[in-house]
């Protein structure tokens, strides 16, 4: 090998970078997000849309709600089950999902998602 020392140092840096997730996660207990439903949510049984849609795309719905409410003044939304909902984060969404730290934050912290809901809205006060 020519310039072996430098090349081996370079290779070790490269390997260290690509293997860093293995080292970083080693020995840590895998913690999985566990969103909890409140009693009111359990009673209601269904959300405004299906669970699959809400898991992957609730932010799209919230964006649509925000824009139609703020810009067009449309306040009512017909859910998948035919029920009419009042479009409001604080009065509709947070009525059931009042437990932000045990519901929203579970996945958001796990995936490092930082929604800017609370730039304008007041964060729900959680009563234990």
Partner 1 sequence: MNFIISILFSGIAVSVIVLIPWICIGAIDGAFMRSLFGIIIPYAAIATFLIGIVVRVISWSRSPVPFRIPTTAGQEWSFPWIKSNPIDNPKGMGGVILRMIFEVLLFRSLFRNTRLEYLNDENGPKINYEWEKWLWLAALAFHYSFLVIFLRHFRFFLDPIPGFVHVLESLDGFMQLGIIPFNGFGMPGVYITDGLLLAAVTYLFVRRIYIHQVRYISLPADYFPLFIILGLGLTGVLMRYAIRVDITAVKELSISLFQFSPKVPDGIGVIFFIHLFLLCVLIAYFPFSKLMHMAGIFLSPTRNMANNNRFKRHVNPWNYPVKFHTYAAYEDEFREKMIEAGIPVDKGVEATSESGKKE
Q: How far is the CB of 62 from partner 1 (least distance, A)?
A: 8
* CB nearer partner 1, residue 19 or residue 40: 19
Write down how long the chain is.
128
Query: What is the H or E stretch that residue 14 is in?
Result: helix 4-25
Q: Does 45 bind partner 1 (CB under 8 A)?
A: no
Do the Cβ atoms of 117 and 87 come closer than 8 Å? no
Whole-Å CA distances, 121 to 23, 46, 92, 116: 40, 24, 13, 9
CA distance 69 to 85: 13
Q: Does 86 bind partner 1 (CB under 8 A)?
A: no
* CB nearer partner 1, residue 31 or residue 125: 31
Residues that bind partner 1 (CB under 8 A): 1-4, 7, 10-11, 14-15, 18-19, 21-22, 24-26, 28, 30-33, 55-57, 59-64, 67-68, 71, 107, 110-114, 116
């Amino acid at each position: 090998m020519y310039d072996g020392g430098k090349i081996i140092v370079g290779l070790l840096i490269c390997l260290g970078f690509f293997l860093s997730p293995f080292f970083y996660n080693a020995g840590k207990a895998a913690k999985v997000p566990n969103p909890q439903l409140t009693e009111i949510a359990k009673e209601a049984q269904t959300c405004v849309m299906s669970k699959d849609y809400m898991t992957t795309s609730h932010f799209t719905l919230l964006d649509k709600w925000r824009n139609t409410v703020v810009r067009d003044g449309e306040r009512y939304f017909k859910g998948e089950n035919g029920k009419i909902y009042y479009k409001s984060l604080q009065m509709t969404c947070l009525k059931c999902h009042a437990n932000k730290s045990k519901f929203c934050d579970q996945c958001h912290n796990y995936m490092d998602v930082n929604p800017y809901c609370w730039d304008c809205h007041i964060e729900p006060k959680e009563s234990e």
